Chains A and B, each alone.
Chain A
């Protein structure tokens, strides 16, 4: 068996069993207790001969979320996280795409079991380790609940895990309207964890935030970088997530990790006062562009902390570059903090449209090759061959085409300059505008729907606005339809109309012209 993250966690259980591993809701679990609960989930999976399968984690910010994740991995399975805020239709699409039949269930999802069972129409096994039988609704599927788990003995066993086995499966927005699955192997994961630990070492004394939803791949860093180091993972409650200043201080966090939007909200609400976060030693931001002025404000609020910008597509396992803020506004392109340098374990190229390498300070698409690069998209060979390519004179190396336009400066730092396609990020989540357009076309019955990021032409998108040609439609009905299909960050903030949809000389929709038309009509 090759070294993997599960073995690392087991080692920490052996070394410091009573050390705190997890604080969630009002509960605290030591490494021993975390393993004990997770091991029981693994034992039940083994009793059903479930191995190398996708295990759905129908739990959110609860003990079951984390024990379900670890239990899936201990038993040699893959975990597939879900978010109770996602529409059922989207959850079902993800389940079907992953062919998942086994689910670890927390109380956060219990109201959905009946509906999911009806939608999936396959034989399902539910494991509900923290829920009493009397609290489970009447369903046809097999279910193991709290009473069953009390009779299971935990143990130290770990099923065989090979480096190419898939550790987790994460879904992102897809241009076709179907969410696309990205499988990340144990080799991908351990490569990231090791490099991250070299860049920004954690110790057993650290108390690390768990702010990202588990459906966001940065949560994988929260969980496994923390447990790899024998540190304590502190789950941020949903209500505190909005402006977590009080939480950071009350919980004495030493590591904060979130999308930059959280810092931006706190700055705007005048919460980022000088030295408000004396305990922080790392403040890590990822998922979207980090504005230099936000970095300055955060650095003042956490003067003892390194402010770190990470960048990476989910296909490259969480983050592939890192930059430590030097507290100097360099007026970088767009006022955005540099992405920094690519992990030394990887190769990168910045190329033009014909895959020719461009020079220093020239703009091109970033290509990445190395051990963090995923094997491709789940069940989509066409898209995989388009995005994961081989290059001439590069042997059998697979290069991932990020779709991100960057330039490299004289210091070897990369700078983000935009996208080559219509993908935008809303609060760190990837959104393919075509997916939103497809749903609005269905809802409105219109031939054309144009989704734009808002504010228009800003390097940082806040929301989505959809433009339709004037005519009879009901905005409320369209938005209601979107809510049944799309997660909240993809739902248009507004539906606006213009007299006609302009086309450019190539017959394509002219988005620049549309934006001009909107501005003329004072839709800013």
Chain B
């Protein structure tokens, strides 16, 4: 599995965990799924997700080149984790 695929699965697992805790049923999670726009992740959850990704994948997140509407989607988040 490529790191991007692993990372994507890692984020999907977090989405599923959060939706379960909040009693929200999700259909298929598409690449353009908005982490913050879905209401599942507030800004603090988003930071926690960054912390967990950095710790688990030994990488540094740098969103300085990306726009918020991009890096808050599933695909954008994964693509911008370098």
Do A and B belong to a common assembly? Answer: yes
A-side residues, CB < 8 A to B, are 239-240, 242-246, 261, 264-265, 268-271, 273, 276, 427, 462-463, 475-477, 479-480, 483, 488-489, 493-494
Whether B21 pairs with A270 at a CB distance below 8 angstroms is: no
Whether A269 pairs with B43 at a CB distance below 8 angstroms is: no
What A residues does B62 contact at CB under 8 A?
Answer: 269-270
What A residues does B39 contact at CB under 8 A?
Answer: 488
Whether B23 pairs with A242 at a CB distance below 8 angstroms is: no
Query: A-B pairs with the 4 shortest C-beta distances?
Result: A476-B23, A270-B62, A269-B63, A480-B23
Total number of B residues with any Cβ neighbor in A under 8 Å:
24
**Could you list 8 A-B pairs, sorted by A, with CB under 8 Å?**
A239-B68, A245-B64, A246-B68, A265-B47, A270-B64, A463-B44, A480-B23, A493-B44
CB distance from A256 to the nearest CB of B (A): 16
CB distance from B28 to the nearest CB of A (A): 20
| Given A268-B50, A463-B44, CB of A243 within 8 Å of CB of B63 | yes
| Given A427-B43, A463-B44, CB of A273 within 8 Å of CB of B22 | no
* Complex alpha-carbon distance, A397 and B42, angstroms: 43
CB distance from B55 to the nearest CB of A (A): 13
B-side residues, CB < 8 A to A, are 20-23, 36-37, 39, 42-47, 50, 60-64, 67-69, 71-72
Known contacts A268-B50, A270-B60, A489-B42, then 17 further A-B pairs from the complex at CB < 8 Å, ordered by chain A residue:
A239-B68, A242-B43, A242-B68, A243-B63, A243-B68, A246-B68, A264-B47, A265-B46, A268-B47, A269-B50, A271-B63, A476-B22, A476-B23, A480-B22, A480-B23, A488-B42, A493-B44
CB distance from B25 to the nearest CB of A (A): 10
| Given A246-B67, A270-B62, A273-B64, CB of A476 within 8 Å of CB of B20 | yes
Closest to B60 in A: A270
Q: By DSSP majority rule, is chain A's interface helix, strand, loop, or mixed?
A: helix
What A residues does B68 contact at CB under 8 A?
Answer: 239-240, 242-244, 246
Whether A270 pairs with B36 at a CB distance below 8 angstroms is: no
Whether A475 pairs with B63 at a CB distance below 8 angstroms is: no
Residue of B44, B62, B67, B69 with most chain A CB atoms under a 10 A cut-off: B44
* Complex alpha-carbon distance, A89 and B64, angstroms: 39
Whether B63 pairs with A477 at a CB distance below 8 angstroms is: no
| Given A242-B43, A242-B72, A268-B50, CB of A477 within 8 Å of CB of B23 | yes
Whether B61 pairs with A270 at a CB distance below 8 angstroms is: yes
Closest to A265 in B: B43
